[in-house]
Chain A
Amino acid sequence: MKVEIVTRRDGEQEIVAYDYVPRDDSEKPMILDVLLQAQANGMPDLAFRYGCRARNCGVCTVDINGRPRIACRARIKEGDRISPMATLPALSDLVVRRDGVARQMRGRLATAGQGNDLNVSAPDDYHALTGCIECYACLHECPMHARNFDGGLPDEQAVEDRPDPAEGYTSGNPFSLLKLQRIRIDPLTSEAGKSSALDNAIDLGLDACVGCKGCKCGVGIDLIGKVIWPMLEAAGDRLAEKG
């Protein structure tokens, strides 16, 4: 099975053809199977992230033909092109720099004011949100996230204009909104905590969700129904005032 792998060394990008040898006749390999075999067979320094091989850790996301896929649990077919996630800055080969997303949440996750009684069950919607594995597939075509890069992709930007991920991106994304919505529906969050979570969502650019055709979750969480709409609804008047 012939596929293409986009590599990048010391800033130089190259497209490498790789011929995957199936381990048995019926094998329909995952993307990660191809990467592991390539590393063992001719590309020993190939850089890619992976962790659990079971779609739980969220670190192995790559783009297949320009769309994000979780490498350990997405099948690959003849002619596919594997490239690093386009929504984050590329480092080496398929490895992108992820930490600008997490760092934007610093100081925004306060859950202070919780009650002392921890023995309270959470609603189903709460658990739907803690299923997020932080794979960042949801950054794909997100207009809010694109604001960090002048509305485009990080690698299209001039080097001097690129934001420093170490500072945390200023504009949010479905993942950061999910983190905030989780705080809002946690039965143990105080009213002040809930309202500060909404403030943070607005600060991260919730207005970008108005009129957006919507985001897609890598593990099937209903982002629009369980994150975006509840937040837009709660923020409605304030967003309208903002214009």
Chain B
Amino acid sequence: MPIEVDWCDYDVVVVGSGGAGSHAAQAAAATGARVLVVSKDPIGASDTKISEGLATVRESGSDDDSEEILSENLKMAGGDLPLNAITDAFAADSKEAYDIYRRQGLRPEIDDERDIPKPLPLPMGGHTRRRSVGHRNSGIAFGHANWNMIVQGEGIDYLEDSWFLDLVTDQAEAGTDKSVVGGIIYHAALGRLIAVKTSSVVIASGGLSTLYFPKTDTMRGNTGDSYAIAARAGADLVDMEQVQFLPFCLASPPSYEGLLVGEPVTASYLGVLRDKNGKVILDGVFLRTRADCSSAIMRAVEDGRGSPNGGAYLDMTANKRPPRSGPYFMRFVESALPSAYKVARQAMSKAAGNCEEPWEVRPSAHYMMGGIRADEHGASVAGDGDGSAGAGLAGLFTAGQAMGGVFGANRLGSTSLTEGAVFGRRAGEAAAHLARKSATRDTREEAFTPMIENIRRRFGQKGDSAAAVLKLELQKAAWINIGPVRTADRIAEMERVLSDLDAKLDDVAVPGYAEWNQAFIEFEELRNLIASARGVCLASRERDGSLGGHVRMDGKQISAFSKPYSTVVSHSPGGGWRVRRVNRDRTPLKQIIAFKIQDAKRKAAVKWLRMLPAGMQDRALEKKYLAVMGAGGTAKEVMPGGADAAVGEATQA
């Protein structure tokens, strides 16, 4: 018997239940819209929940912070790829959006004197102000807030264990462009398909880092669903070559491979990166962006000077050694990124955990900076330049990692949790607004039929391939060919692998039963990974120099002074995949130069610190730590639980 279909209709459908999805759902429901949240993982079990739990809160560190400065930081870090309207929106909404989290129970530590959440003692790389607020229990605390929003949410229905497979589009009347009329969902726990009619879908289902598994520190569910679903429905994707690789992740032991152990800021005043010969390959690490650090490591690896597991060494021993400032450094490392440091201590030797030995680190895929091309309300856009919503796919909205155009070529630390809240809310409101306008429209069930029939045919498909095994093949090839290091040849090789895999999709065996059919799930996720990887390949080919997240070994570094452009990838059933460039506005020269001078000054100041005789250096550092951390040097307890108490660690073999 073919898998059965249930029908329903909603004003707004939100795909994803992480930071962006929950904020979108709540914002849409607050306007009176009837909202359905569709999540393949349990509610709230997203990248937000497993993150370091750092949020950008404008003005939290100093009164001289402003919307203009924050917006400029984002745009400059992103190599002028982010849209002005989008970075301005981020800067304008960042405090308010964060307060929504607080209304749901997120409780930061408060700086009583300034009556504002207390940020980390140092600005994170690329931020010119201290404004990254850390939280006890890291992202888990955000996860609770998101969970509450959806589970409690008035006007919000939700489905978990449910895969949103594809958007359904149709012409409102003959001769007009297609717009969103609904979607098809596989409810694995019930073993049924659900056809949902709606005029407004917010795609907030995360990124594609699983393409690089296990060289990633993110959730398994990041199988590129957002991009594949949008592209198949005809929407533009932007900056798809810009995968962010976090520099300081583990290369071993196997159970910990890929997990995050630190950020540039972790390296503190004296941390440096070294190659296998002990030569410094990057200094002033704590002032560098993630992209700078990843690039330095991968260039050393390509040059044959990498560590045994294909990385480099993060050497923080100089911070630890001085008798006066050393203890402050340790408290800083423990409290700045508690869950990353917890991983470091568990996975590496005791000496490494105490920063008395360098850490072997290797970049991991962490975040997709490109994504669905959208405006500052998360609405799908197309056309030249910044694009227009009129030309985009009507009814498609996006937020969070699914959305492109926010971070461009480099995302600064602590910005993604804020991004999810800011654009989740905006997309939810815009989607509800459109739903009100489209309320009277009739939806033809025939528009859903071809897709439903296609899906039904997959159940019981005979074949000799297993999607889970093909996925491993894809992941291996993706790291080598479209990972942190790329060349035109490697990209071409990847495209060959993708064509091979595409051809094998019809040979994947899928049993016929409906309830939680893992083979069908693996098939759908593989299909999405392949489509997303296509986007990465095309955009990487178009971007023929090094910029941001990855190094082009066969191209030049793209200068901040050159004319910036973004890549736009799209797919049409008749015409296949295509890529083109759209121009971006360059930050005025005066501003770039001022930023560069300021940056050089900060780096020089640290260089000077490293040259001081040991005693003087120690006292100077002590003073610096005291100034930023206070005499108490708040060392937060690493939570949750100790090894003894935890069920996980209690079962030593």
Binding site for B on A (CB under 8 A): 9-10, 23-24, 27-30, 32-33, 39-40, 44-47, 49-59, 64, 68-70, 72-77, 91-93, 95, 97-99, 102-103, 105-111, 114, 118-122, 126-128, 130-134, 137, 165, 182-183, 186-187, 216-222
Q: Is the CB of B518 within 8 A of A46?
A: yes
CA–CA, A127 and B339, complex, Å? 14
Q: Does B343 contact A (CB under 8 A)?
A: yes
Q: How far is the CA of A128 from the CA of B636 in the complex (A)?
A: 12
How many Å from the CB of B106 to the closest CB on chain A? 8
Cα A120 to Cα B221 in complex, Å, equals 35
CB distance from A211 to the nearest CB of B (A): 24
Known contacts A130-B144, A222-B645, then 7 further A-B pairs from the complex at CB < 8 Å, ordered by chain A residue: A45-B522, A54-B217, A57-B41, A98-B160, A126-B107, A134-B147, A218-B648
A53–B50 Cα distance when bound, in Å, is: 10
B117 lies within 8 A of A69 (CB): no
CB of A92 within 8 A of CB of B516, answer: yes
From A92, A131, A219, contact of B648 by CB (8 A): A219
Beta-carbon contact of B647 and A70 below 8 Å: yes
Instruction: Choose among A32, A44, A95 the residue that contacts B522 (Cβ–Cβ < 8 A).
Output: A44
SS class, residues of chain B in contact with chain A: loop
Q: Report B226-255 CB contacts with A as 1/0, cut-off 8 Å.
A: 000000000000000000000000000111
* Residues B356-397 near A (CB distance < 8 A): none
A-B pairs with beta carbons under 8 Å apart, 27 shown: A40-B469, A40-B472, A45-B518, A49-B41, A52-B219, A53-B256, A54-B259, A56-B138, A59-B41, A74-B651, A75-B653, A92-B515, A98-B42, A102-B42, A105-B152, A109-B152, A111-B103, A127-B136, A130-B136, A132-B144, A133-B49, A133-B140, A133-B640, A134-B147, A186-B105, A219-B646, A220-B647
Question: What is B's interface to A at a CB cutoff of 8 Å?
Answer: 41-45, 49-50, 99, 102-105, 107-110, 115-117, 136-141, 143-144, 147-148, 151-152, 160-161, 188-189, 214, 217-221, 253-256, 258-259, 339, 343, 466-469, 472, 511, 513, 515-519, 521-522, 639-642, 644-653
Interchain CB contact under 8 A, A131 and B647: no
The complex places the Cα of A75 from the Cα of B346 at a distance, in Å, of 13
Please, which residue of chain A has its CB at the minimum distance from the CB of B107?
Answer: A122
Residue numbers in B under 8 Å from A111 (CB-CB): 103-105, 148
B126 to chain A, nearest CB (A): 25
Residue in A64, A92, A97 whose beta carbon sits within 8 Å of that of B517 in the complex: A92
- For B646, what are the chain A residues with a Cβ–Cβ distance below 8 Å? 55, 73, 218-220
Least CB separation from B142: chain A residue: A130
- A132 near B647 with CB under 8 A, answer no
Residue from A9, A32, A119, A130 in contact with B105 in the complex, judged by beta carbons closer than 8 Å: A130
Q: Known contacts being A9-B513, A52-B219, is A121 close to B43, with CB within 8 Å?
A: no
* B255 partner residues in chain A, CB cutoff 8 A: 29-30, 32-33, 53, 72
Q: Which 5 A-B pairs have the closest CB atoms?
A: A220-B641, A131-B640, A220-B645, A44-B466, A92-B516
